[in-house]
Amino acid sequence: MIMKSGKLLLLLLSFNVFYYAAVNCAPQTCPATKDAKCGDSDDWKAEFFPGISKIKYEGPSSKNPLSFKWHNPEEEILGKKMKDWFRFSVAFWHTFRGTGVDPFGAPTKYWPWEDGTNSLSMAKRRMRANFEFINKLGVDFWCFHDRDIAPDGKTIEESNENLDEVVALAHELQRQSKKRVLWGTAQLFVHPRYMHGAATSSELAVYAYAAAQVKKALEVTHYLGGENYVFWGGREGYQSLLNTDMERELNHLARFFEAAVAHKKKIGFNGTFLIEPKPQEPTKHQYDWDAATAANFLRKYGLIGEFKLNIECNHATLSGHSCHHELETARINGLLGNIDANTGDPQVGWDTNQFLVDIQEATMIMLSVIRNGGIAPGGFNFDVKLRRESTDVEDLFIAHIVGMDTMARGLRNAAKLVEDGSLAELVRKRYQSFDTEIGAQIEAGKADFDFLEKKVKEWGEPKVASAKQELAEMIFQNAM
């Protein structure tokens, strides 16, 4: 029991230490205020990534680590360009706010452009680095939390002013580069005010503050042309039911989402609202545990037509599922909206946010995406971070390249499976007994128990066919 409690404490500490460091990036030596006297210029006199040119496709035989071997953006697969299947996006918080800190060590990453402050000028410098990075990487989208890109102020008015100033720069950089926001969101879990939750907080004033913060984040996402808006309920859950009114908290969460939908319509935002399921960490139990739980919540409160799901592969495994399972659950419910392309370490029981490099998993992911007809206006967001020991600027590129190449190989393999048709035919044959008149009656809800009992007496003992699982696995492996 002591060991289990210690592990949980370590996991929660790991998350809190990481994210606090990620959003502050370094010891705060300059106040995040408009009149701060330090770091008063966002000018950077050189390239942020000198010596790295635009990443190009060079094919599988290339030995150049700064090139794509499998991701060929303009190549057409199953009637759609590769870049349109993926709609890759860079996550601002991990790529530009991650420091490599862990519960046992200080930050290991000190990018050349950082000045040790959390000032507005530093925020603008990071934004310029972000656009140079996505331009050279060759992706079309980026994602952000409000407090990742602009420093928190002493009041909500000051926080909003800080955000407006950085967003104005981002808007201009987007115009110049023709890049877009895949999704934006509000960070409702780091600040101490959200220790009991945001929309599910027991404090009315915190609920109201969260509403005001989401209102602003939604407005700036709309201004930046964002195609989606994500809700991740990191604190929307409980540590103990002994001091929690779960029903009231769930009702409050639903009212919060209803108000968000109303404001979305009021400002004319046509993007998709997304909920990102996660089972635990930082809370013991989060109310959006997995895709099925989130779908049930949306149905209960009449929100099923207003939201889709952002499935994160690492969150899927933490909930006891595979990423493929979560994608299929979302897909068959008409809720697959976006994918956070990452993975976890099976030997580490927490959210490690690693780049996905498992080609088999990537292939299964892409089978779901193909069956879904794509995921636009969603995409694949790299909600991933460099390992603590990877500290070179070029590692940012190498990590994203291998992630993109892995997904490209998954797409190519999935396309082979679709075009070959053997796997689909195996599945069809397994259920072919339902492709009969009586099977159609059952699936149409027109076969009652009396009718089925009569048929059982007529047929006798059923003959049960093999599932051919090993053959299915062989077909799958042959596509690798």
What residue ranges define each of the domains in the chain, with the CATH number in brackets? 7-36+43-420 (3.20.20.150), 423-478 (no CATH)
Q: What are phi and psi of 460, to 5 degrees?
A: 85, -160
Q: Whole-model pTM? A: 0.90
* 145 catalytic residue (yes or no): yes
CA dist 253 and 200 (Å) reads 6
Tokens 């200080």, residue located:
106
Non-local CB neighbours of 37 within 8 Å, separated by 6+ positions: none
Alpha-carbon distance values, 327 to 120, 163, 308, 341 (Å): 39, 34, 12, 12
DSSP letter, residue 466: P
Instruction: Confirm if 87 and 380 have CB atoms less than 8 A apart.
Output: yes
Half-sphere exposure of 284 (CA within 13 A, CB side): 9
Q: How far apart are the first and last CA of the chain?
A: 43
Cα angle 115-119-121, degrees, rounded to a multiple of 5: 80
DSSP 206-222: HHHHHHHHHHHHHHHHH
Selection from 243, 233, 346 nearest residue 290 by Cα: 233
Instruction: Confirm if 337 and 391 have CB atoms less than 8 A apart.
Output: no
CA dist 188 and 7 (Å) reads 25
CA dist 331 and 420 (Å) reads 23
CA dist 409 and 358 (Å) reads 10
pLDDT of residue 347: 84
DSSP letter, residue 105: B
CA dist 456 and 182 (Å) reads 54
Instruction: Confirm if 375 and 414 have CB atoms less than 8 A apart.
Output: no
CA dist 341 and 116 (Å) reads 30
Instruction: Confirm if 78 and 161 have CB atoms less than 8 A apart.
Output: no
* Structure tokens given for 403: 């992630």
pLDDT of residue 22: 43
**pLDDT of the chain, 480 residues: tens digit per residue:** 433 444 443 444 444 434 444 444 333 334 444 444 444 566 776 799 999 999 999 999 999 999 999 999 999 999 999 999 999 999 999 999 999 998 899 999 999 999 989 899 999 999 999 999 999 999 999 999 999 999 999 999 999 999 999 999 999 999 999 999 999 999 999 999 999 999 999 999 999 999 999 999 999 999 999 999 999 998 999 999 999 999 999 999 999 999 999 999 999 999 999 999 999 989 999 999 999 999 999 999 999 999 999 999 999 999 999 999 999 999 999 999 999 999 988 888 788 898 999 999 999 999 999 999 999 999 999 999 999 999 999 999 999 999 999 999 999 999 999 999 999 999 999 999 999 999 999 999 999 999 999 999 999 999 999 999 999 999 999 999
Q: Which of 145, 222, 315, 400 is catalytic?
A: 145
Q: What are phi and psi of 385, to 5 degrees?
A: -135, 150
pLDDT of residue 349: 78
pLDDT of residue 41: 64
pLDDT of residue 371: 97
